[in-house]
Copies of this chain bind each other. A is one copy, B any other.
C-alpha cells in the first residue's frame, strides 16, 4: 500500500482481520484530512486538528505495518517497491494511492512566488506569508509598498481557491480588526483570479453565481476569464494587466503524483494512471491504482477528485482483493454519488446533493456537520468543534503563530 490518504487508509482498514499482511508506506507520519487543510493555512486550525499519526490510527490493526518512507519507483517485473535510500519492499499485491501534486502547467518557476496547498508544510508556508504580510505592512512607510503588502491574490476558482480567498477576507475584515496602529486591515484587498467564466466550475452554473456573490459580499474581488501569464516577487501579470501583490497563492492546478508516470503504463494528460474496471493497471491485475492518481476514462459521469471517491475506491480494491484470495469473482467499480460541498466563509457555502442544490447558511451548516462527522479520530472532532465554536463567536483565529522554517544542519 503506497500512500495513506483517504484512498489508502480506507483500503488498509477494509483489510483489517483479513488473512493478509499489509505494509503501509507514506512519506509523512500522518494521515491528513485534506478538506480542512485550508483552515490550517488560514490560521483557523492547528496541524494536529486535521492530521493524525498513521501508526496511531492503525495501532490496533495487527496485520498492518507502517513504514515512514518515500516510494521512489515500482518495479512491476520484480514486484518490488524501491524506497528512498534504496530499501526494497517485495509485494504480492500493490495498491498505489499516492494522490495528486501541484501543477504549474510548465511554469515551475512560479512556485517560489506562489505556493500552493497540498501538505501541512504548504499550509504553514501560506499562513506564514499571509500573517507576515500584515506584520510588514505595519513597518512599511511607502504607501505603494504597503498596498502591495496588503494585496492577496488567489489564482484558481476551484474549491480550494474559493475557500482560501473567503478566509483571507475574513482574516482582514474580522480577525485582525483593531490590532494595527498604522493602517486598517479591513482595507486589505483579496483578489480571486479564475481563467474560466465562473468559480467552482464543477458545480451547476446557478451555484457558481451564488458562490461569486457570497465571495463579493465577504469582500473578495472576483476576476473571471483572466489568464495568468507571469508571477514574480512583485505580483501577477494577467495578459496586459499587472496586479502588484506581495502574497500570491496558487490553487489553479493539480497533477498526479510522479509515481504514476514511473509505472510505465498509460497515463492521461494530468499524469493520472489509466485503470480498468477493477482499478488495476493493464496487464498487471496485482497492481491497483486508486484515488486522485487514478483515471477512469470509461466511467460516466466522470468520477470527481474528492475524498468520497478515494474512499470508495479504497474500500472497493480491498474487497476485491479478499474476493480474489478466495478465488471468487471480483467486481467492477461504480462511483456512488454523494454530492459536493464547498465552503466560502462564515455562514456561506454551496452544496449539491443529487438534485438538491443549496447555498448560504443551510449549505454551510451541512458542510459543518459533514466535516465534523467525517474527521478521523474522536479527539480531533472535539478539538475542531471547540476551535470552531470559539472562532465563530469571537471572530478570532487561534493558530496565528508564525513559525519560521529552520535550516537543516
Give chain A's interface residues, CB within 8 Å of chain B.
28-30, 46-49, 51, 53, 55-56, 58-60, 65-69, 87, 111-113, 120-122, 124-125, 131-132, 135-136, 138-139, 178-182, 379, 382-383, 386, 390, 396, 398-409
Contacts and interface: CB of A to CB of B under 8 A. Distances in A.
Given A30-B402, A53-B400, A398-B383, A67 B409 contact: no
Given A29-B135, A56-B179, A60-B178, 5 more contacts: A29-B132, A59-B179, A65-B181, A121-B404, A125-B406
A90 to B, nearest CB: 14
B29 A401 contact: yes
B402 A28 contact: yes
The 5 nearest A-B residue pairs measured at CB: A112-B409, A68-B135, A46-B46, A55-B179, A65-B181
Contacts of A405: 121, 405-408
A112 B406 CA distance: 11
A26 to B, nearest CB: 10
A48 B136 contact: no
Nearest to A27: B404
A188 to B, nearest CB: 15
B29 A409 contact: no
B401 A48 contact: yes
Nearest to A233: B409
17 contacts: A29-B131, A29-B401, A30-B401, A46-B46, A47-B399, A48-B399, A59-B178, A59-B179, A60-B178, A65-B138, A67-B138, A68-B138, A113-B409, A121-B404, A125-B406, A379-B390, A405-B405
